[in-house]
Every structure is written in structure tokens, then in C-alpha cells.
Amino acid sequence: MFVYFDSCNMCGIVGIIGGKPVSRLIYHSLFSIQHRGQSSAGMIMYDGNIHVTKDSGLVRDIFDEEKKIDTPGNVGLGHTRYSTAGMDDIASLKNNAQPEYLVNPFLAAVENGNIYNCSEIEKLTKRKPRNDCDIQCLLLPLADKLYKKELNADLIFDSCKYLMTKIKGAYSALFLADSGENPYLFAITDPYKIRPLVLGKSNGVFCLTSETRVFKKINFEYIKDIPGGSVIIIDTIGNIFEKQVIKKPEKPCMFEYVYFAKPDSRINGRSVHNTRSELGCLLARNHPVEADIVVPVPESGRHYATGYAMESGIPLDEGIMKDKDERSFIQQTQESRDKVVEEGLSYLRSVLEGKRVVLMDDSIVRGTNIRKLIKGLKIAGAKEIHVRIGCPPLIAPCYLGIDMRSKKEFIARDDWGNIKTWEQIGKEIGANSLAYTTIDSLKKAIKSDICSGCINFPEGYPDEWKEDVQKLFNKDKKGQRAYER
């Protein structure tokens, strides 16, 4: 029986296939998507034999020997994982590290996403999951469909379509399947394309991955974003077979643009940097304030601050310095988040003393970090602190994988579930004023419809999921996701 305590989103995935060994390309790609997951990482290569290296920790620590980097095979998968639910101890992180694979038939997989109806999917297969990760509800039913059959593109299309009509949630997933001398790399994307997936190439070698920045790292040419509801199949010869098996209007995750993707990436052709800068401009236009300097929270607020300073004419200055390259939001526990903030930042009194400061950041979830930042600015001598935030108030759990587990943990909600005013939140965090981006501004900057369930609940979810997420929301009582059981 599946017992899903653990989901994968947000994660970084990469799959590379061609006519030459690709393990080193995958290794370098993993560094480019390390920001998407810091709890574990792994790589699987295939040359008729299976070569797997995975563990908890960072890429640089796991692949600490040349023999782990240079492994044979012209096709492989890589993964950096951010655990958003369940057990965060080292043993669990090791056990749930990806890639995952089966040997009968040989099928390997990595996923960026969260499937919220795994209790229904468990009934589709008699296979037993090896771990608690929801990738099992992609891997096991698909293996049943491919078992004892001659692998070809039509079979993969049909099998993936069957799976995609059963699962509910956000996903971009990559698979590696054996077909004798010519293995296949193939991918599926959820119908709403909530999770990103892009295709690139170089000299007959092809790469599917989470972000376009990977292509800069490994000198590949960007080809396209994979549409929602698609299955794309590539063999080692370079043949590509693609079919959009389910067609629905795309609703990319707004948090990809706001926080998760790196600013040098593009999503559906839209620059992440330009999106954040435009949001900063709109904040300055809609919520101006008299101030002396604009200060970004490093690094998450930098591109918003650039736009705000440009539009307002208030000079941009570095009042906060970041001492370590870790992301507080995707730390596994609140204790580790606090530690990153406390140990990782320092304040420049020469910049801040006596100044009216506009403090820019991407979002406020729990409020813990922004309180500490404001306190640090005040200690360094800031006269006033006006906070401007690049996305609207977060008010509901993300049931598609972002680590916002319970409606009880949002600073924007009170103990009775009511939505607080901006003025109330501003007073709680110690700011002289607080203003957020609106949903309309978010859509204007992204230039697309978006999945916005966490800021507009439940209306921001796709229509067919609204009833499901409302039920999950109503079950939310203990500070954990309602589908964790």
C-alpha cells in the first residue's frame, strides 16, 4: 500500500540522450538546477547496465569522486530534490532520493511535481513502492503498461496518456526505458503545464530539463518549451516523437516566476529577470513612498529592487550582504531556515544609518525571516522601513508541491482563518508600511494566465481541481498537508 508522506516539488530534473557518453553533461547540469532542491541529488546512467549515484545533500558533496561523475552510458537522468512534505531526517532523505528505477521492465524516472491523488493511483497496480515518494505513482503504473511488450513510440504514447488521465496534480517527469540497443528518453508534462520543461540540443545530443539556464552551462541550443499535456520521446539516434495527448489552457505556477526559477532562465519565452523587474516597477507606480534608498533582500529581492528603483528614481543600494549561498525558503525545517537568515546576512551601517529604506523581497510566507531582517535594519540605524513584496499575500497551502503545508502557517491569516489587512501584517513585522503586488499586476508582468491557488484560493486553481483542493483545505487541522496520512 502506498503511504505518501513525501512529494518532490520543487525539484530540478534533467535527462540527456545522444550518441556519446553524457554523464558529465548531466553532472554539470545538476549544478545549474541545485537551487531547485538542496535536500538530495542523484544521477542514473544506462549502457545496458544500470549505474546509479544518489544520496542526501548537495551535488558537490554527493559527486565527490571522478568515478561517480564519469559513468558509462549515452543516456541518463539527473535530479536535485527539495522535499516539501513528510519526514526530513537524513535516512528519509536518502531513501527518497531520485532517480528511482525498476528492473522488470527497466524503467527509471525523475519528477518535478506533486501528485495529490496517490491513494487512487495505488489501486491501479499490484507493484509495491520501494519508498514513500509520490514518484512511485508515476513509475509503477507506467511499468505495468510497458511490461513484456516491445517498446516503441506508439506504446509509450498510449501508456503515458493512460497514466496522465488518472493522475491529478502538477508534474514534469522524465523517464528512461530499455528497448534493447536503442533506449528511449521520454517525458510527460501535466495538462496545465504548471511545472516547466524545456528542450535543448547540441551536435545530435538532446537535453530535457527544468530551466533554460542549464543550456548555457553545457553549451546547448534552446529548442522549445514542452507544451502542457505532452509526451515527447527521443532515442539515441536523435529521432524525436512528440504528441500533445491532453490539451488544456496552460497555467504556469506563479511562484516559478516570483521565486524558484533563476533570473537568467526563461519560462515560455518570458525572461524571469524581466518579470521580476517589471513587478518592481509596478510596485513603485502603485505603491510609492518617500524614501532615501531601495535595499533588496539578497538575492531574492534584487530584481524587484532594480525595477522599483528605476521607476521611482530612488537610488538602489546594498544595505544587506549575504554571506552564504543557501536559500532559506527551501530548508527542511524552520530551525534551519532561521539559521540561514541569522548566519547568512550582515547589515551595512554606513549605508543604512539615518535612512528611510524601501526593503524589497519576493514574498512573505510565515513572516519569520522578514521580521528578523527588519530588526537587523533597525539595529544598523535605519530610520524608516517600508516593505514592498513582489507577489500578493500567500493565504493557502499549495497542493501542487510548494512547501506551504498548512493554512495555519501563513502570516496573512489569523488564528480563526480570516485574511489580515496589509496594515495588520505590516504592524506585526515591524514595518512603517507594507504593500504587495496584486494578482492583476502579477498576470501583467508574467504575460500569461497563472496557477495562483496559494494567493487566490480556491479560484486560482484549475476549475476541475477546485472541489478537490477545497476538501483538502477543510481537512487541514494539524499543520500538515491533508493528503499526508
Mean pLDDT, consecutive 10-residue segments, the chain of 485 residues?
48 96 98 94 96 95 93 97 68 89 95 92 91 90 94 96 97 91 93 97 97 98 98 96 97 94 96 98 98 96 98 97 64 50 82 98 94 97 98 93 80 92 98 97 94 95 95 77 45
Q: Which of 391, 333, 327 is nearest to 362 (CA)?
A: 391
**β-bridge partners, 433:** 386
Tell me the three cell numbers of residue 6.
513525501
Residues classed as catalytic: 11
Helices assigned H by DSSP within 178-253: 213-218
Per-residue pLDDT, 327: 52
Tell me the three cell numbers of residue 265.
532562465
The rounded Cα 110 to chain-centroid distance in angstroms is 14
Structural domains of the chain sorted by starting position, each given as residue range(s) with its CATH number in brackets:
12-250 (3.60.20.10), 255-475 (3.40.50.2020)
- Residues 176 and 157: their CA atoms lie apart, in Å, by 14
Q: How many CB atoms lie within 10 A of CB 1?
A: 7
- Residues 38 and 320: their CA atoms lie apart, in Å, by 24
Let me know if 470 is exposed, middle or buried by CB neighbors in 10 A (0-12, 13-18, 19+): middle
Give the CA-trace dihedral at 354, 359, 365, 369, to 10 degrees. -40
Per-residue pLDDT, 136: 93
CA distances from 288 to 220, 282, 382, 425 (A): 42, 10, 19, 18
State the amino acid at position 429 in one-letter form. Answer: I
Cβ 78 vs Cβ 174: under 8 Å: no
Per-residue pLDDT, 485: 38
Cβ 101 vs Cβ 107: under 8 Å: yes
Q: Which of 58, 53, 56, 35 is nearest to 43 (CA)?
A: 53
Per-residue pLDDT, 342: 59
pTM for the model = 0.92
Question: Which H or E run includes 444?
Answer: helix 439-446
Per-residue pLDDT, 326: 57
Tell me the three cell numbers of residue 236.
539515441
Q: Which of 299, 293, 207, 190 is nearest to 245 (CA)?
A: 190
